């Protein structure tokens, strides 16, 4: 990985931890004993005089800083951004002028509700915050994996977050939205409904940070070198396609591997499978500001991609894990007001509030105004300010600290009028009375919620109904359940009735029919599967003594060739003896893992393998879970017989004497010996399809 300007700058900050030298105090004094405190005798009291002991404990006592009030749980990575072509026709931002410009980036992904130590796979919005270290200063695109937000005006944010967070009397629930106060707020604040549809969809449980979209949410403004403006909405699209977990799986993962998404990001980068996203923009001419049936300043609305296509303008590659979580990921300070010339804000009232909140939050969280000097936050562009002092000032400034000055040689000089390097706020004309009132153009809260609902595929709609039932089923107050169902009735009667039935609420009368004439297929996960690749997918291969070694090898090779990661799982660690007498290494012992940590499973054949598996409860559970969660299952030779112990599933019915059968993601081949090309390509296709939703239920 080539060193970029950010990495070179960062290298200068890597702590000079002594390699081989003796332990010292903070003052550099060598310490010869750190296991026993200085005491008055072997059984006597500890002495104040022990400065090493006091320093060690004091430093420990002060290790914690406040976690982020929202988005506390996260994972970060460095990388770079490259435009595909010059964007000069609509923005003068230097980092978007030519494909030859490579800009270093730091990205932090996060959940919103839970604390720093909460599980990754909760039902929640995911943050997607990117800091571009451009030659003109830092540009932060602080977005989410959903294109709309819960509220329209930032003044409601504390109310919304108080309702969403664990309830104040008992601090329950952690990392979950299924509780009374959130739904109370939602049922009384219909502007939340569109976002709640997204939150109840599978978008809220991404399979991986590498497989989710990102959105700037608000309408921003590009400004070109003549001062001309264009409205812009930012979109990130993952190259691996957009994929989600299923709710049952997400819940089990919260216990099996609470770090599931964080680990996945880390491992992908460590293995060289660098996550990649395309940055796209929806561009809207300023003259078309009122050409839409939604207000572009309303953050609870989208502009459908079918109406304004997303134009790809560049790619982001994440190719480096941080060296220290606290120093980098935890201390990363994003701010929507970190703008560069060529990118400006609009009057979206939510965005306007954010312009205040992010700096304010960093001041308390990072303990003073010098957080911008922390390595992860430092721009690579030169910084020359008259700001001085404050807690933890790391720099030694010389010269004057005011403008204008003559004694400091007039430095730093002020950019003159027309200096193209300077940020100039777009001279938008504004006028109006000082009022507290929501614009009438913000009032329709149901049409787009309905558009979302009707644009989903059948299985997505099923999952949404299940999610509403789950969440509202955990709400104690019947009045809140009822009011929410009433609200859903404005979105779609079928949805409201299906939810009502599951939560013991009387279905409401048929409401307004809002089914839109034009749907937005781009909203459905069906349209976002990506290139159909198996790259980086985790495949379990179940092996025991007597397994057909050639089949195992064939499967491993076929998967590796396509960039998937196959792991052999056995009842114990170490190795198993293959049918050819050769030892086959075991990657993980089955008791330490579960099906929810894998994307697919293969049951190879072999004299003993199938029989052993058929008798092994953990293996049966593994395959059954993979089946229930819609994952690809492959079985070879006598492995097909082991699969049959899950009958009656009626899928992948074996053909005597060989031949590959592929049915709704269950791929079988009873032939013994090598895995055929037909089998491996059918299995790869089944994995690439991600999930198979139309299987009959298992009866046991
Ligand atoms: Fe944030 N948000 N937010 N937010 N937000 C924070 O800043 C806030 C909003 C988002 O990885 C905080 O440094 C207000 C929308 C992300 O470090 C805080 C409002 C979107 C992150 C804050 C919003 C976001 C934050 C908490 C309504 C998507 C994590 C810690 C006016 C476009 C960044 C911090 C990271 C973090 C305030 C609404 C995304 C308190 C007041 C809309 C991804 O400043």
Q: Is 233 in the pocket of ligand 1 (CB under 6 A)?
A: no
**Residue showing tokens 């139309």:** 694
SS (H, E, C) 82-132: EECCCCCCCCCCHHHCCCCCCEEEEEEEEECCCCCCCCCCCCCCEEEEEEE
Q: Is 361 in the pocket of ligand 1 (CB under 6 A)?
A: yes
Mean pLDDT of 290-315: 98
What value of ipTM does the predicted structure carry? Answer: 0.98
Q: Do the domain assignments include residue 189?
A: no
Q: Which of 13, 33, 138, 144 is catalytic?
A: 144
Catalytic residue status for 609: no
- For residue 591, the 8-state DSSP code is G
pLDDT of residue 647: 58
Q: Do the domain assignments include residue 647?
A: yes
70 CA to middle of ligand 1, Å? 7
- List the structure tokens of 653: 């019915």
List the CATH number of the domain containing 232.
2.40.180.10
For residues 437 and 152, give the distance between their C-alpha atoms in angstroms, rounded to a whole number.
12
For residues 601 and 584, give the distance between their C-alpha atoms in angstroms, rounded to a whole number.
18
Q: Is there a contact between 158 and 502 (Cβ–Cβ < 8 Å)?
A: no
Query: Whole-model pTM above 0.80?
Result: yes
Q: Backbone phi, then psi, for 318, in 5-degree steps?
A: -100, 115
Q: Is there a contact between 452 and 202 (Cβ–Cβ < 8 Å)?
A: no
335 CA to middle of ligand 1, Å? 8
Question: What is the domain count for the chain?
Answer: 2
Catalytic residue status for 71: yes
Q: How confident is the model at residue 200 (pLDDT cuts 50, 70, 90)?
A: very high
Angle CA 539–144–535, to nearest 5: 20
Q: Looking at beta carbons, which pairs linking 421-428 to residues 24 or more positions away fall under 8 Å?
A: 421/136, 421/341, 422/341, 423/137, 423/339, 423/340, 423/341, 424/227, 424/341, 425/344, 426/221, 426/223, 426/227, 426/229, 426/344, 427/227, 428/229, 428/347
pLDDT of residue 593: 95
Name the average pLDDT for the chain. Answer: 94
For residues 669 and 662, give the distance between their C-alpha atoms in angstroms, rounded to a whole number.
9
From 373, 399, 416, the end of a domain falls on 373
Mutation test residue for ligand 1: of 354, 364, 377, the one with most atoms within 8 Å of CB: 354
From 373, 404, 429, the end of a domain falls on 373
pLDDT of residue 267: 97
pLDDT tens across 541-575, in order?
Answer: 999 999 999 999 999 999 999 999 999 999 999 99
Q: How confident is the model at residue 417 (pLDDT cuts 50, 70, 90)?
A: confident
* Residue 157 annotated in ligand binding: yes
For residues 594 and 585, give the distance between their C-alpha atoms in angstroms, rounded to a whole number.
19
* Residue 311 annotated in ligand binding: no
Q: Is 112 in the pocket of ligand 1 (CB under 6 A)?
A: no
Mean pLDDT of 255-278: 98
- List the structure tokens of 318: 């994440």
- List the structure tokens of 648: 């009656």
pLDDT of residue 119: 98
Q: How confident is the model at residue 655 (pLDDT cuts 50, 70, 90)?
A: low
Start-to-end C-alpha separation, the chain: 50
Q: Is 106 in the pocket of ligand 1 (CB under 6 A)?
A: no
For residues 461 and 458, give the distance between their C-alpha atoms in angstroms, rounded to a whole number.
5
Q: Do the domain assignments include residue 24?
A: no
* Residue 365 annotated in ligand binding: yes
- List the structure tokens of 462: 């099923």
List the domain range (segments joined by +) for residue 108.
74-162+207-373
Q: Do the domain assignments include residue 242?
A: yes
For residues 458 and 398, give the distance between their C-alpha atoms in angstroms, rounded to a whole number.
66
Asked whether the predicted pLDDT for residue 2 surpasses 90, the reply is no
Q: Is 90 in the pocket of ligand 1 (CB under 6 A)?
A: no
CA-based diameter of the chain, in Å?
A: 93
Q: Do the domain assignments include residue 103?
A: yes
pLDDT of residue 614: 66
Mutation test residue for ligand 1: of 165, 337, 357, the one with most atoms within 8 Å of CB: 357
* Residue 535 annotated in ligand binding: no
pLDDT of residue 140: 98
Q: H helices then E strands: how many in the chain?
A: 17, 19
List the CATH number of the domain containing 597.
3.40.50.880
For ligand 1, atom 32, the nearest C-alpha belongs to 143
Q: Backbone phi, then psi, for 452, in 5-degree steps?
A: -60, -50
Q: How confident is the model at residue 657 (pLDDT cuts 50, 70, 90)?
A: low
Q: Do the domain assignments include residue 20?
A: no
Asked whether the predicted pLDDT for residue 401 surpasses 60, the reply is yes
**Residue showing tokens 């109904």:** 465
pLDDT of residue 606: 85
Minimum mean pLDDT range among 215-229, 248-262, 657-671: 657-671
Q: Is there a contact between 320 and 1 (Cβ–Cβ < 8 Å)?
A: yes
Torsion-angle region of 217 (φ positive above 0: left; ψ -120 to 50: alpha; else: beta): left
Q: Do the domain assignments include residue 592?
A: yes
pLDDT tens across 128-180, in order?
Answer: 999 999 999 999 999 999 999 999 999 999 999 999 999 999 999 999 999 99
pLDDT tens across 108-134, in order?
Answer: 999 999 999 999 999 999 999 999 999
From 337, 357, 373, the end of a domain falls on 373
Give one DSSP letter per residue of 609-629, joined into a string.
Answer: HHHHHHH-HHHHHHHHHHHHT
Q: How confident is the model at residue 314 (pLDDT cuts 50, 70, 90)?
A: very high
Q: Is 152 in the pocket of ligand 1 (CB under 6 A)?
A: no
Q: Is there a contact between 119 and 253 (Cβ–Cβ < 8 Å)?
A: yes
Give one DSSP letter per residue of 181-228, joined into a string.
Answer: HHHHHHHH-GGGHHHHHHHHSGGGSBS-GGG--EE--S-EEEE-TTS-
Q: Do the domain assignments include residue 486?
A: no
For ligand 1, atom 3, the nearest C-alpha belongs to 354
For residue 362, the ligand 1 atom closest to its alpha carbon is: 13
514 CA to middle of ligand 1, Å? 32
Minimum mean pLDDT range among 198-202, 580-584, 595-599: 580-584
pLDDT of residue 232: 98
pLDDT of residue 650: 57
For residues 615 and 544, give the distance between their C-alpha atoms in angstroms, rounded to a whole number.
12
Q: Is 542 in the pocket of ligand 1 (CB under 6 A)?
A: no
Asked whether the predicted pLDDT for residue 696 surpasses 90, the reply is no
């Amino acid at each position: 990985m080539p060193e970029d300007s950010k990495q070179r700058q960062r290298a200068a900050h890597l702590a000079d931890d002594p390699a081989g030298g003796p332990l010292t105090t903070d003052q550099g004094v060598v310490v010869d004993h750190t296991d026993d405190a200085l005491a008055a005798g072997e059984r006597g009291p500890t002495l104040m005089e022990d400065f090493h002991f006091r320093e060690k404990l004091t430093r420990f006592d002060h290790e914690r800083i406040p976690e982020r009030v929202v988005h506390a749980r996260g994972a970060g990575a460095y990388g770079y951004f490259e435009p595909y072509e010059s964007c000069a026709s609509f923005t003068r931002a230097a980092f978007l002028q030519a494909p030859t410009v490579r800009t270093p980036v730091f990205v932090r992904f996060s959940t919103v509700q839970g604390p720093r130590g909460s599980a990754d796979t909760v039902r929640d919005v995911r943050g997607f915050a990117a800091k571009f270290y451009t030659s003109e200063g830092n540009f932060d695109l602080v977005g989410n994996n959903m294109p709309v937000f819960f509220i329209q005006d930032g003044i409601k944010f504390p109310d919304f977050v108080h309702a969403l967070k664990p309830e104040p009397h008992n601090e329950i629930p952690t990392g979950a939205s299924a509780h009374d106060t959130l739904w109370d707020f939602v049922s009384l604040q219909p502007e939340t409904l569109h976002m709640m549809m997204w939150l109840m969809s599978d978008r809220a449980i991404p399979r991986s940070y590498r497989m989710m979209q990102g959105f700037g949410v608000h309408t921003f403004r590009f400004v070109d070198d003549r001062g001309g403006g264009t409205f812009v909405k930012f979109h990130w699209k993952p190259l691996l396609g957009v994929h989600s977990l299923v709710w049952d799986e997400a819940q089990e993962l919260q216990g099996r591997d609470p770090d599931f998404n964080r680990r996945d990001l880390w491992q992908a980068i460590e293995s060289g499978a660098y996550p990649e996203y395309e940055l796209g923009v929806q561009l809207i001419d300023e003259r078309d500001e009122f050409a839409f049936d939604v207000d572009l300043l309303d953050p609870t609305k989208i502009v459908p991609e079918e109406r304004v296509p997303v134009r790809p303008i560049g790619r982001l590659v994440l190719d480096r894990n941080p060296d220290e979580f606290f120093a980098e990921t935890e201390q990363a300070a994003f701010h929507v007001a970190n703008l560069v010339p060529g990118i400006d804000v609009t009057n979206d009232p939510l965005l306007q509030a954010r312009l205040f909140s992010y700096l304010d939050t960093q001041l308390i969280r990072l303990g003073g105004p010098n957080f911008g000097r922390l390595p992860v936050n430092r721009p690579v562009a030169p910084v020359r300010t008259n700001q001085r002092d404050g807690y933890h000032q790391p720099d030694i400034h010389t010269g004057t600290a005011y403008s204008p000055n003559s004694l400091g040689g007039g430095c730093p000089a002020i950019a003159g009028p027309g200096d193209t390097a300077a940020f100039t706020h777009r001279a938008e004309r504004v006028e109006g009375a000082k009022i507290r009132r929501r614009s009438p153009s913000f009032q329709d809260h149901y049409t787009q919620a309905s558009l979302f609902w009707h644009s989903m595929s059948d299985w997505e709609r099923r999952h949404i109904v299940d999610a509403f039932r789950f969440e509202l089923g955990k709400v104690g107050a019947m009045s809140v359940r009822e009011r929410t169902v009433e609200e859903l009735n404005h979105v779609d009667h079928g949805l409201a009735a299906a939810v009502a039935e599951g939560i013991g609420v009387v279905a409401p009368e048929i409401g307004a029919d809002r089914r839109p004439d034009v749907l937005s297929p781009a909203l459905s996960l069906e349209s976002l599967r990506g290139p159909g690749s198996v790259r980086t997918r985790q495949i379990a291969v179940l092996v025991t003594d007597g397994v057909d070694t050639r089949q195992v090898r064939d499967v491993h090779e076929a998967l590796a060739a396509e960039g998937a990661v196959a792991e052999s799982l056995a009842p114990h660690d170490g190795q198993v003896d293959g049918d050819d007498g050769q030892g086959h290494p075991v990657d993980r012992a089955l008791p330490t893992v579960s099906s929810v940590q894998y994307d697919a499973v293969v049951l190879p054949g072999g004299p003993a393998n199938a029989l052993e598996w058929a008798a092994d409860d953990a293996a049966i559970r593994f395959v059954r879970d993979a089946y229930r969660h819609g994952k690809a299952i492959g079985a070879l030779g006598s492995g097909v017989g082991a699969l049959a112990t899950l009958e009656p599933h009626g899928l992948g019915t074996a053909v005597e004497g060989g031949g590959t059968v592929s049915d709704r993601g269950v791929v079988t081949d009873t032939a013994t010996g090598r895995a055929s090309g037909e089998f491996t390509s059918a299995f790869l296709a089944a994995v690439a399809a991600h999930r198979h939703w139309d299987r009959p239920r298992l009866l046991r």
